[in-house]
Amino acid sequence: MPGGPPPPPAPPAITHYEYKVVKLRESLIGDKMSKSKLERLLTQHAREGWHLKGLTAVDVKGWAGPGGVAGLLITFERPVR
């Protein structure tokens, strides 16, 4: 080849992320999480560029009955701009 071989491809850029944790808690009476409240929260954060990274049930014994789930910890991730 004239001029030698082509240069190697550039390494991929490193993407840095930021994280946000939101606590979603319902009233202590009853055992159901509000589906619509969760959907609104997820949609709101998606509009801001956040991606759902994980959901963690928070188990607080004695608040919502033995072994009752008091809420969720919702972890979001997005690339740093």
> Quick one: pLDDT at residue 68?
56
> Quick one: pLDDT at residue 4?
84
Query: Is a pLDDT exceeding 70 seen at residue 2?
Result: no
> Quick one: pLDDT at residue 50?
98
- The answer to whether position 68 is within a domain reads yes
| Residues 6 or more apart in contact with residue 65 via CB below 8 angstroms | 31
Query: Is a pLDDT exceeding 60 seen at residue 39?
Result: yes
> Quick one: pLDDT at residue 66?
57
Number of domains making up the chain? 1
Domain of residue 50 covers 17-79
- The answer to whether position 41 is within a domain reads yes
Q: Which residues of 30-58 are buried (b: 16+ CB within 10 A; e: fewer)?
A: eeeeeeeeeeebbeebeeeebeeeeeeee
Mean pLDDT, residues 26-34: 61
- The answer to whether position 1 is within a domain reads no
> Quick one: pLDDT at residue 1?
55
